[in-house]
Structure 1
Amino acid sequence: MASAKIIYASMTGNNEEIADIVSEALENLGVDVDVSEISQADTEDFADVDICIVATYTYGDGELPDEAVDFYEDLQDEDLSGKVYGVCGSGDTFYDDSFGKSVDDFAAAFEKTGATKGADIVKVDLEAEEDDIEHLEAFAKSLAEKAADM
């Protein structure tokens, strides 16, 4: 059975909900999932799982959440070769140029780890609505399928 670790940063609860949606979708696909808030997590938490996921929000004009900065910096130094990663999260389309920038930043950080991209990033405008939930479920399915192929 594949295993996944979801690390999320959430100020308003939107990304906690996103993490829960992805977790439930993965569990429905037979994946063993563990979810942690980013301030309670360490990048080494990804060492013993097949699928590594970060769900984050973007603060202000494109900044990483304060509580995610150390995790982001440490992630770039991890060797996650042989693992699958995915990044999702919320933003506010009011900030046209920086909508979901932290999601992009975490995807770039994962690229440095040697992990394999398992799904296209998913950005949600504020809170997940019906079409967002469908995209997040497809994101989870893609991650599970990629992990099964490795």
Structure 2
Amino acid sequence: MKALIAFASMSGNTEDMAAILKETLEGKGIETEMMELDDTNVEDLSSYDYVLIGSYTWGDGDLPYEAEDFYEEVSSLELNDIKVAVFGSGDYSYPKFCEAVHTFYDMLKTTGASVFPETLKMELAPDTDEDVVCCQEFATSFLTWAAFLEKRAEDHVS
């Protein structure tokens, strides 16, 4: 199984989250690549079993500049059979906390991807042990959910 963690991070907070997710997935035996959104070729998404997309939120609930092209390109794809999860960092001092997470989540639902119903939103950086555990549990829950979907699909075929 292969996973891609694609992210946008200005201050390093979302990148730190991505690194914890990567370490957790690799600990579960998943070959995992991590790259920034603006370096990600959206045509390659279908070559992964799992895709995790992370972004910080810019300004008043906007996608950051470096996520806009990725968002537009992905929104026109059909991502059937790909399991996707969304995560991001934010700052509660802004009116729309982690709105980029919601924006990506809603768009991914329209692509036909199987979108993990939970999202991971974190205030600033994953600095505490509790934050790290939260990221680890998110990755583990995502894999459990994906395995359930795969098993259900196999049962449906047989």
TM-score range, shorter chain: over 0.9
**Cα deviation, residue 148, structure 1:** 2.5
Matched, 1:103 2:110: no
Query: What does residue range 7-46 of structure 1 map to in structure 2 within 5 Å?
Result: 7-46=6-45
Task: Give the stretch that moved more between structures: 23-32 or 110-119.
Answer: 110-119
Amino acid in structure 2 at the alignment position of 1:112:
T
RMSD over aligned CA atoms reads 1.2
Cα deviation 1:82-125 (Å, max 9, x = unaligned): 11110001000001x30000011011111011111235101110
2:156 matched residue in structure 1: none
1:121 matched residue in structure 2: 119
CA distance in 1, matches of 2:19, 2:117: 17
**Cα deviation, residue 45, structure 1:** 2.5
Do the aligned residues in 2 keep the contact of 1:119 with 1:142 (CA within 8 Å)? no
Q: Which runs of 5+ in 2 are unaligned?
A: 151-158
Identity %: 35
Cα deviation 1:40-85 (Å, max 9, x = unaligned): 1122231101111111000111110001001011111111111111
> Where does structure 1 differ by over 3 angstroms across 4 or more consecutive aligned residues?
none
Question: TM-score under structure 1 normalisation?
Answer: 0.93
Q: Which runs of 5+ in 1 are unaligned?
A: none
Instruction: Tell me how many residue pairs correspond in the alignment.
Output: 148
Query: What does residue range 53-64 of structure 1 map to in structure 2 within 5 Å?
Result: 53-64=52-63
Highest RCO, 1 vs 2 (Cα 8 Å, sep ≥ 6): 1
Cα deviation 1:116-135 (Å, max 9, x = unaligned): 12351011101113222222
Do the aligned residues in 1 keep the contact of 2:83 with 2:115 (CA within 8 Å)? yes
